[in-house]
A and B are shown apart, each in its own frame.
Chain A
Amino acid sequence: MRIYVHDSEGKRVVEADEAATLADVTGADAGAKIWAEDASEPLAADATVGLLADRDVVAVHVGKGQVTVSVTYEGVAKPESFGPGTKIDKVLDWATGRDGFNVPEGDRDDLVLRLKGSTDPLDPDTHIGTLAGKGDTLALDLLPGDKFAG
């Protein structure tokens, strides 16, 4: 089974049997926790690959704890905590949705997330724990996507 292993530095792909423990597969250091992608709580220390076998994508994040994300939109910042394996497109759903800035539905699809002060695009499957690096906070801007004219 193909497993995407994300951490504070990036991601890699490993192959493993369902019976293997995620700790062995990921080579997680003692003290590190393993989070399923988009999960808010870590997996049990002895969790096996098979626990995630019913998912379309088997992806985990090796990290320390939750990441507090602060998203700024039209000058207003809102914080929220997520598991480090949360994808950037899930944060976008939160930021534009009812629990975030409650952007009108017709306007939501035009908005993108960028690292605060940056214009570089972010892959929607990037884990916020990777963007936060060794830290536990992440600052993002919610802004309209680039319009190419001229």
Chain B
Amino acid sequence: MNPDEKALVDDLESDRFMCGADHGYWRLVARAGVLVTFDLVTFDLAAKNGRQVGVRLDCSGYPGVAPTGQLWSVPDDAPLPVAQWPQGGRASAVFNPNWSPNFGGAFYFPYDRRALDGHGGWASAHPGHVWGVDKTVVDVLHLLREVLRTATTPTIDAAGQEEAS
């Protein structure tokens, strides 16, 4: 097993990752080497329902290099069509249909190595979100959930039924 894959597996077996999974924040769907697929779940207290979105992360060079990711259709095991991307709130910027498709569907935030290229200013503008060896795939998943929580489409009722505690 290569060092990046070993580091990824270690973090997927960490208490922090397991605690998030047990709370229903995410589910590990599949892993093939350094390619790993998750279902992310957010929970809307008012609506008593959740929004569920698949993501795939390419963790080549992990953890020295930030992953790059894309939204993923778990049922189709394929990239999620742009028309189905969550939008609204911070989601419109992170899942940017005008930028991301040109970069493999990458997330427009500092935990995606493709987005980091050309955005050196993010480190000073967002010191709480600087990728380093202290960050793990768990940080990526938490940030994605934080962004996903702000999305307004697709509607929560249409997107999923699973509850997170």
Main secondary structure on B side of the interface with A: helix
| In the complex with contacts A123-B142, A148-B110, A56-B165 CB distance below 8 A | yes
* B16 touches A (CB below 8 Å): yes
Of the candidates B22, B126, B139, the one having the most CB atoms from chain A within 10 angstroms of its own CB is B22
Q: How large is the interface on A (under 10, 10 to 19, 20 to 34, 35 or more residues)?
A: 20 to 34
Chain A residues with Cβ below 8 Å from B25 are: 124-125
Would A12 and B15 be within 8 Å (CB), given that A93-B45, A145-B150 are in contact? yes
How far apart sit A56 and B93, CA to CA, in the bound complex (Å)? 34
Least CB distance, B90 to chain A, in whole angstroms:
6
The answer to whether A134 has its CB under 8 Å from any CB of chain B is no
Known: A56-B22, A125-B20, A146-B128. A4 touches B15 (CB 8 A): yes
Chain B residues near A (Cβ < 8 Å): 15-16, 18-20, 22-25, 44-46, 89-90, 93-94, 108-110, 115, 119, 121-122, 125-129, 138-139, 142-143, 145-147, 149-150, 165
Binding site for B on A (CB under 8 A): 2, 4, 11-13, 56-57, 59, 93, 105, 109-110, 112, 114, 118-121, 123-125, 145-150
Give 10 nearest A-B pairs by CB, closest first.
A119-B128, A120-B128, A57-B22, A109-B149, A148-B109, A109-B150, A146-B126, A13-B15, A110-B150, A125-B23
14 A-B contact pairs sorted by A residue (CB < 8 Å)? A12-B15, A13-B15, A57-B19, A105-B46, A109-B89, A121-B129, A121-B146, A123-B16, A124-B23, A125-B19, A145-B90, A146-B126, A148-B122, A148-B129
